[in-house]
Amino acid sequence: MSLFDQKVSDLHELLHKKEITVSDLVETSYKRISEVEGKVQAFLTLDEENARHKAKALDERIGQADEKGLLFGMPIGIKDNIVTKNLRTTCASKILENFDPIYDATVMGKLHQAETVTIGKLNMDEFAMGSSTENSGFKDTRNPWSLDRVPGGSSGGSAAAVAAGEVLFSLGSDTGGSIRQPASFCGVVGMKPTYGLVSRFGLVAFASSLDQIGPVTRTVEDNAYLLKAIAGHDEMDSTSANVAVPDYVSALSGDIKGLKIAVPKEYLGEGVKEEVKQSVLDALKVLEKLGASWEEVSLPHSKYALSTYYLLSSSEASANLSRFDGVRYGYRSPDAQNLLDMYKMTREQGFGDEVKRRIMLGTFALSSGYYDAYYKKAQKVRTLIKKDFEDIFQKYDVIIGPTTPTPAFKIGENLADPMTMYVNDILTIPVNLAGVPGISVPCGFSEGLPLGLQIIGKHFDESLVYKVAHAFEQATDYHKQKPQL
């Protein structure tokens, strides 16, 4: 039994009753890391000395007037594309192998205010491009449920570390499914908030119109607490939405009577494994028992989401990643004799294959003569995909389907052909294109591997998404299962 088997709110109470200390929580993390990290390989950098130091300082203040908030003293892991001041931030790329940020991302500032303790930085696909964490420039993270399988990606380290009990919770980022898909593969809860709800300042940009930071946790309640802590308007991010952040936890009443659920037929169609479909149909039965009703609907442009996504996200990436040129930070090729060669050799040697492939695709789609045919066309189809969601939300409260077409696949299985890897994200990508919030919660197992239920809401309707996810979680016990490591 680990302390991390308990919810944040319970741990907070134990801290206040002086039954545990912040140091106990932090040591729970590092002890577990020493036991299982050799197998799981979720972390790129540990921040042990600072974490222990901070834990001691926080322990002095438990119960005092300036100690506030439920997240006080809670150990957290951070995806390595979120910049952390004076703590190495690599994006799992050789090009940033020794990058030591001089400022904190806005979410880190908010976590400092909430007084969480950062345990370390988590592995990911290089620059968040991938669905398996195999594109990391440093190591393969393994799925705690089956070590020969991928944890999903790109936030594979964030999901694996939580599933393995190495941290209580973590932050990930989601551009096309990168929080929800690994959460599904690792049997944990992962939320991609509405675009604009969480500041992207200090999130190393992949596709700026799609990227969002979000929480990965063991329970829906913990997820709601963590989102509340990191959400909110930020003048440092011009795409940050100026909306009030509600108290998500107060929405977790369990009461979903009269809820109207839309189930897109495209999400239970071709390519979706039979056990996955069945787990969703079983989940819908659970929700019906709780007083919800569901109907089959259509999101007719779903089949175009993958193409749209790869054109748009790669185009944005090709522009965003132009900043890695060997001049101001990161790796510089020692071989070049002039500036132009320095750019080219630095980028050639510093980036991995998938990142180069996407930069190439994006540069092509934006290049003269092809811009209208590819980039602008994809932007127009994006409008239609977004409208599909708006139409459904005229009549229904939430959309439900699987998070992924299959459970976690084997390491190496999808590496040969980029297209087979891309298909993993067909059920999560439309949500990013529409900018709406989506969560993945555990909803079953297939041959011992976790499956995830995806619940999608209207813009800024995270409260309802959490309410439904929580009601489902409380009526089932999938979230109580843990991997044997």
CA distances from 91 to 126, 172, 198 (A): 6, 12, 19
Which of 347, 458, 470, 479 touches other proteins by CB under 8 A? 347
Give me the sign of the Cα torsion angle 176, 178, 179, 182: positive
The answer to whether 178 touches 434, Cβ cutoff 8 Å, is no
Set 178, 279, 302, 440: catalytic member: 178
CB of 59 to other proteins, least distance (A): 32
Report residue 208 as tokens.
Answer: 């700026």
Contact between 246 and other proteins per CB under 8 A: no
Element (H, E) at 189: strand 189-192
Which of 418, 446, 474, 475 touches other proteins by CB under 8 A? 418
Q: Is 293 a catalytic residue?
A: no
Set 7, 29, 54, 79: catalytic member: 79
Which of 4, 99, 225, 478 touches other proteins by CB under 8 A? 99
Which of 62, 205, 345, 485 touches other proteins by CB under 8 A? 345
Residue with tokens 């952390």: 84
Q: Taking the CA of residue 329 as centre, how many other CA atoms within 13 Å lie in the half-sphere pointing to its CB?
A: 14
Contact between 377 and other proteins per CB under 8 A: yes
Contact between 352 and other proteins per CB under 8 A: no
Name the residue type at position 252: L
Which of 201, 206, 248, 374 touches other proteins by CB under 8 A? 374
Nearer to other proteins, 34 or 239 (CB): 239
Number of Cβ atoms within 10 Å of the Cβ of 189:
31
- CA 374 from chain centre, in angstroms, equals 28
* Residues pairing with 120 in the sheet: 46, 77
Contact between 343 and other proteins per CB under 8 A: yes
Name the residue type at position 28: T
Contact between 45 and other proteins per CB under 8 A: no
Q: Is 79 a catalytic residue?
A: yes
Name the residue type at position 94: K
* Residues pairing with 263 in the sheet: 296
Residues 178, 182, 184, 188, Cα dihedral to 10° = -110
Q: How far apart are CA 326 and CA 390, in angstroms?
A: 44
Angular region, 408: left φ>0, alpha ψ -120 to 50, beta rest: beta
Q: 225-244 mask for other proteins (x: CB under 8 A)?
A: ----------x--xx-x---
Contact between 416 and other proteins per CB under 8 A: no
Contact between 363 and other proteins per CB under 8 A: yes
Contact between 419 and other proteins per CB under 8 A: yes
Contact between 328 and other proteins per CB under 8 A: yes
Q: Longest C-alpha distance within the chain, in Å?
A: 70
Contact between 23 and other proteins per CB under 8 A: no
Q: What is the DSSP letter of 89?
A: -
Contact between 48 and other proteins per CB under 8 A: no
Q: Is 154 a catalytic residue?
A: yes
Which of 195, 206, 248, 409 touches other proteins by CB under 8 A? 195
Catalytic residues, which ones? 79, 154, 178
Q: Which residues contribute to the site for other proteins (CB under 8 A)? A: 98-100, 102, 195-196, 209, 235, 238-239, 241, 301, 303-304, 306-308, 310-311, 318, 322, 325-332, 336-345, 347-348, 351, 356-357, 359-361, 363-364, 367, 374, 376-384, 386, 418-419, 434-435, 459
